[in-house]
Structure 1
Amino acid sequence: MPETPSMPGLPIPGTVYPAPPEPPFPPLPPLPPRPPMYDVSADLPRVAPGRVFAAVAGTAVAAALLLPAGLSGIGIAVTGIIVLIAVFVGSPYRPGWGQLLTAAGIVALLAVPGWRSAEWLTVWYVLLAVAATGVLLISGRTLRDMAFAVVAPIVVSLRTSAWMTRAAGVAYLGSKVENPRAVLGVGVVTVVLVVVFGALFAGADAMFATLLSALTPDVDDPTVTANVAVGVVVGLFTAVGCYLRYARPRLTDHERTVAGDSWAWAVPTGTVLALFVAFLGTQAGAMIGGQDYVQDTANLTSAEYARSGFWQLFAVTALTILVVSVAWQRAARTTTRDRVLVRGILGGLCVATLLVVVSALHRMYLYIDAYGATRLRISVMAVELSLGAIVIALMVAGAGLGTRHLARVVGGLIIGAALAFAVYDPDAQIARINVDRYEASIARDEAPRIDTSYLSGLSPDATGQLLRLPTELQPCVLRLIAETAREKRGWTGFTVGRAQAKADLHDVELTSVDACPSPN
């Protein structure tokens, strides 16, 4: 029988083939499933309860009606109080004493725009209040929880939308209204009748017309649209807050990574500490020797010396806090030798950082003395002082080798520093420093050192200090401030600073001037 030729690609019967080569590397095991970033409470209802809907709608309407047209006014604090009450009412459990204390701090932050008339402060205080509200809603106890609280409203926004949408669907399906078109028609007819009869009554009586005008928003006013948009945003924020109170999200467990040997963290941090010591050695000569030492060694004036390094030192302070925090997590603290090493290196870094804070503040003091005070210069000095307070808190926690209450202490320091800055009254202090600088230049028979253009842009909080200027200079700096103080903004736009400025300017005549001094 003739042999059948094999087809290409098929093995030939009776032929011995070598075994396939082994792969050079064994196959990699499958990756474990990635754990979720956070867990939610098992008691979270699938749909939002009805009281959450009521809380969200109430805060949206209240915010649209109460928020002032500008960026200052007691309406901001009133709206914040309503939001907190709505979140607590829509919450499944009562707040504890710690949460009530945090809520009091939030209200204090939001009260600043009703106290000071400096609108540039409002944005920062509102953002800080929002961040503190996030910490309140998730009951953050650690620095990691506080960091999560900042992004939690964004992370859970989609889940909140689904939560509220499901509730709306359930409410609609369970409704007894069989003809939604009839409901819509009744609403349209009601609105038309109210408009017609309201217009007739307003034309018949002037007092009723005045009352109706006060209660009815002016649709031509662009602030109405802005208030409605802000009201919607506040309502959405309230919905997220209620969801967080029900969900109680918790970050998944995170094991602390400890360096295998002490040198793994001690070498880099110890090297940074050596750099600190070398830098502080040069600073000691500048701070003790004064301007003559700086002029001889660096060929810089005091102003140039101050301007040349403040921002770098500011960054050094913030970065050192991060380095110390990371090294604290990485360092082993089980033996006496480990604890002594941690205290020696990280404590030394904290002490050196405090000295850097002193050096940075000294440089900014020289800069302000040379060029005057501004909002930016005063603000960064306040932030630098706050960072120094946080470093002290780290040192206190490190002395006891425990960080159980560190997050709360840091949060309290931040809120306390912000409130202290409001008590400091930055715009008034800026005016005081610049007026003192002007008076000193006049006493020395020098050219007047004053920037009337910048001072005229301050808020009414600065009025009392600016009235110390000579009568011929007052119109240069107070004309715009007086217009701001005398604006009618309604009761929601009331601020203590604006009312005080209006009283101070009551008997002041701001005559026109031909020219104002140029900056010097």
Structure 2
Amino acid sequence: MYGAHPAYQTWAPPRKPAPSRLRPPAPAHPTAATLWAVLATALFAALLLSDGAGTNLLLVAVPATVAGAFAARAAGRRLRPWTLVWAIGGAALLAVPALSDAGWPAFLAIVAAIGLTGFALHGGRGWPSMLLGPVGLFDSVGTGMMWGWRGARQRAGGSQGRWGPVLRTVLIAAGLLVVFGALFAGADAAFADLIGSLVPDVSLDQAPWRLLCFLIGLFGALAVARTAAAPLRWDKMAFKPGPARGRLEWALPLIVLNLLFAAFNAIQLTVLFGGYDKVLSETGLTYAEYARQGFWQLLTATLLTLAVIGLALRWAPRAGAGDRRLVRAVLGTLCVLTLVVVASALRRMDLYVDAYGLTRLRISVTTMEIWLGVAILLIMAAGIWGARLLPRALAASAAGFVLVFGLIQPDAVIAAQNVERHERLGKIDVHYLEGLSADAVPALDRLPEPLRSCALRDIADRLRDDEDESWYATSLAEARARDILAEHAVTPPVSCGRPSREEQYDPDADPDLDTYDPYDPYAP
């Protein structure tokens, strides 16, 4: 809460200082160490990124991080604990593509890693820094190019006599490696295979793509170094609190909303934990339809509640201790009731998954709903102990959920749940499972034939097409899947008998006996 009262810090950071310059003075020219680290990043990107995402992302991030560290040190910036936290979190997120084959959690992890990089480079602890930090990183792309160019020109003009020996040394070393490497490769086939797997393909047909990767690495590393040297000061932004409302005007709508939440939750506690038969008989819905019907509405209600809390804090009364107690009581009650809504939504999704099976959409929105519950708990903690760390806590929790989501390999969880459901109920949608990534192979390998071969045939074909990928673009899950498929070969039947969509879904049939879900855009 923003407020004039010095002790009133409930649910909000302290009042912002007077506005000042967001953009600091231009930093000095980059050092030689910074420029070499930038060049190394560009070369690593050109050689490693053209084959896909894997361990290569971490390899490219290392020299880019070194470039930022050199630039920050030259500018006199100190390493702070939260900077180290964001940097370690970003590196952990970039490990997800190296471990998992699925592209969608890897994409989320890469986006989150970019966000944490922005936090680490800019610093700050308030809402502006958490919301705009990643934007500032992209703001440095243009200025970083000019900054790097001026630094390169200055270094070249002052060290012309030293470039010749360095260039000759590099060329001699490269020539020796090429000549003797080619001789040894021709003398031993095993050594040739080792060299072929370790050395990137530098054929001319990939030159345009490698040039693009080189430029991305170059501009990205320059942006990182430029931001580390002179970050935007987002926390210098000042926000005026909204005009305080009277107690009755502010509290009455929220109290009415709390009563509505309480009535809904009372019914949910009765229905979700023992009163299904009566509700289903009165509504005419089946068990699965009832579970499916309300989840999306409850998810939307949770999101809207967070918006209501934010707006309520902006216009909350702030005259004294009585107002502070009123805000805590009303918004605290709303948060507690919202947690019951979150639990109800998760319970409905559990019933829904039990009836139809787990899919990518369902596990994604379930994870999001769980994080919303954690966010509400953090807001409640801020209402009790102060909101100084709330922006950082919310950002760290979101990044942590993305990291855990990638590390658990959701495709593997989906496959394991559906295989267990088949063992228990005898129902499974093989045609959905065959579209999963290699993460799902260990679980799908437990299916009996011919279901196993039907579920694995497309995955096996994709792995066979990608078997020439370099080691740095191959995930651990892909390597494990290839080992499993080599030990137990896929022997697909003549036909897996995929039914049409109309045959999969009969609107007049019992949804409990239907594996196709028309409300799931990921369904086949």
**Considering the TM-score relative to the shorter chain, is it more than 0.5?**
yes
Instruction: List per-residue Cα deviations over 1:168-219 (Å, max 9, x = no partner).
Output: 5555776869xxxxx9xx99xx99xx8xxx8999699835995997757343
Identify which of 62, 70, 87 aligns with 2:68.
87
Q: TM-score, normalised by structure 2?
A: 0.79
Q: State how 1:16-165 maps to structure 2 within 5 Å.
A: 39-42=22-25, 44-45=26-27, 47-67=29-49, 69-71=51-53, 73-92=54-73, 93-165=77-149
Q: Does residue 412 in structure 1 map to residue 396 in structure 2?
A: yes
Q: Give the drift of 1:462.
A: 1.4
Q: Would the alpha carbon gap of residues 53 and 199 (structure 1) be closer, same or farther in structure 2, given more than 3 Å must change?
A: closer
Instruction: List per-residue Cα deviations over 1:366-407 (Å, max 9, x = no partner).
Output: 22122211111111101110111111111111122x111112
Helix, strand or coil at the partner of 1:125: helix
Which residue number corresponds to residue 305 of structure 1? 290
Which residue number corresponds to residue 346 of structure 2? 361
Distance 2:442 2:366 in 1: 23
Identify which of 320, 340, 357 aligns with 1:372.
357
Q: Does residue 394 in structure 1 map to residue 374 in structure 2?
A: no
Distance 1:50 1:326 in 2: 50
Instruction: List per-residue Cα deviations over 1:461-481 (Å, max 9, x = no partner).
Output: 212211221122211011222
Which residue number corresponds to residue 464 of structure 1? 442
Q: Does residue 490 in structure 1 map to residue 473 in structure 2?
A: no
2:433 maps to amino acid: L
Q: Does residue 341 in structure 1 map to residue 326 in structure 2?
A: yes
Q: Give the drift of 1:69.
A: 1.7
Distance 1:205 1:105 in 2: 40
Q: Give the drift of 1:36.
A: 8.3
Q: Which runs of 5+ in 1 are unaligned?
A: 1-34, 178-182, 443-448
Which residue number corresponds to residue 15 of structure 1? none
Distance 1:204 1:379 in 2: 50
8 Å Cα contact 2:360/2:414 also seen in 1 = yes
Q: Would the alpha carbon gap of residues 381 and 212 (structure 1) be closer, same or farther in structure 2, given more than 3 Å must change?
A: closer
Q: Would the alpha carbon gap of residues 201 and 323 (structure 1) be closer, same or farther in structure 2, given more than 3 Å must change?
A: closer
Identify which of 348, 371, 382 aligns with 2:367.
382
Q: Give the drift of 1:330.
A: 3.7
Q: State how 1:232-251 maps to structure 2 within 5 Å.
A: 232-251=215-234
Which residue number corresponds to residue 426 of structure 1? 410
Q: Would the alpha carbon gap of residues 517 and 212 (structure 1) be closer, same or farther in structure 2, given more than 3 Å must change?
A: closer
8 Å Cα contact 1:294/1:302 also seen in 2 = no
Which residue number corresponds to residue 512 of structure 2? none
Q: Which runs of 5+ in 2 are unaligned?
A: 1-17, 499-503, 505-514, 516-524
8 Å Cα contact 2:431/2:455 also seen in 1 = yes
Q: Give the drift of 1:327.
A: 2.7
Which residue number corresponds to residue 28 of structure 1? none
Distance 1:57 1:396 in 2: 46
Q: Would the alpha carbon gap of residues 262 and 159 (structure 1) be closer, same or farther in structure 2, given more than 3 Å must change?
A: farther
Distance 2:132 2:49 in 1: 29
Distance 1:361 1:102 in 2: 30
8 Å Cα contact 2:298/2:341 also seen in 1 = yes
Distance 2:267 2:39 in 1: 61
8 Å Cα contact 1:317/1:353 also seen in 2 = yes
2:400 maps to amino acid: G
Q: Give the drift of 1:337.
A: 0.9
8 Å Cα contact 2:339/2:373 also seen in 1 = yes
- Structure number with greater CO (CA < 8 Å, separation at least 6) is 2
Q: Would the alpha carbon gap of residues 152 and 216 (structure 1) be closer, same or farther in structure 2, given more than 3 Å must change?
A: closer
Which residue number corresponds to residue 430 of structure 2? 452
Q: Give the drift of 1:138.
A: 0.4
1:76 maps to amino acid: L
Q: Give the drift of 1:130.
A: 0.2
Q: Would the alpha carbon gap of residues 340 and 468 (structure 1) be closer, same or farther in structure 2, given more than 3 Å must change?
A: same
Instruction: List per-residue Cα deviations over 1:136-184 (Å, max 9, x = no partner).
Output: 110131222110113212334333344334445555776869xxxxx9x
Q: Would the alpha carbon gap of residues 201 and 337 (structure 1) be closer, same or farther in structure 2, given more than 3 Å must change?
A: closer
Which residue number corresponds to residue 288 of structure 1? 273
Q: Would the alpha carbon gap of residues 150 and 327 (structure 1) be closer, same or farther in structure 2, given more than 3 Å must change?
A: farther
Q: Does residue 512 in structure 1 map to residue 497 in structure 2?
A: no
**Residue-pair matches, total:** 466
Q: Give the drift of 1:94.
A: 4.2
8 Å Cα contact 1:68/1:75 also seen in 2 = no
Q: Give the drift of 1:314.
A: 1.7
1:235 maps to amino acid: L
Q: Does residue 257 in structure 1 map to residue 241 in structure 2?
A: yes
Q: Give the drift of 1:86.
A: 2.3
8 Å Cα contact 2:22/2:237 also seen in 1 = no
1:421 maps to amino acid: F
Distance 1:97 1:416 in 2: 17
Which residue number corresponds to residue 217 of structure 1? 201
| Aligned-residue CA RMSD (Å) | 3.5
Q: Give the drift of 1:513.
A: 0.2
Identify which of 466, 473, 483 aligns with 1:503.
483
Percent sequence identity over aligned pairs: 34
Instruction: List per-residue Cα deviations over 1:16-71 (Å, max 9, x = no partner).
Output: xxxxxxxxxxxxxxxxxxx98952334x4254444433232221111222336233
2:68 maps to amino acid: V
Distance 1:388 1:396 in 2: 13
Q: Does residue 478 in structure 1 map to residue 456 in structure 2?
A: yes
8 Å Cα contact 1:201/1:208 also seen in 2 = no
Helix, strand or coil at the partner of 2:449: coil
Q: Does residue 206 in structure 1 map to residue 186 in structure 2?
A: yes
Distance 1:123 1:279 in 2: 37
Helix, strand or coil at the partner of 2:496: coil
1:413 maps to amino acid: S
2:232 maps to amino acid: P
1:100 maps to amino acid: L
Instruction: List per-residue Cα deviations over 1:196-247 (Å, max 9, x = no partner).
Output: xx8999699835995997757343554x543432332232122112222222
* Greater mean deviation of Cα atoms: 285-294 or 312-321: 285-294
Distance 2:119 2:83 in 1: 9
Distance 2:199 2:463 in 1: 25
Q: Would the alpha carbon gap of residues 161 and 216 (structure 1) be closer, same or farther in structure 2, given more than 3 Å must change?
A: closer
* Greater mean deviation of Cα atoms: 351-360 or 295-304: 295-304
Distance 2:200 2:475 in 1: 24
For the pair shown, the structure with the greater C-alpha radius of gyration is 1
Distance 2:50 2:96 in 1: 14
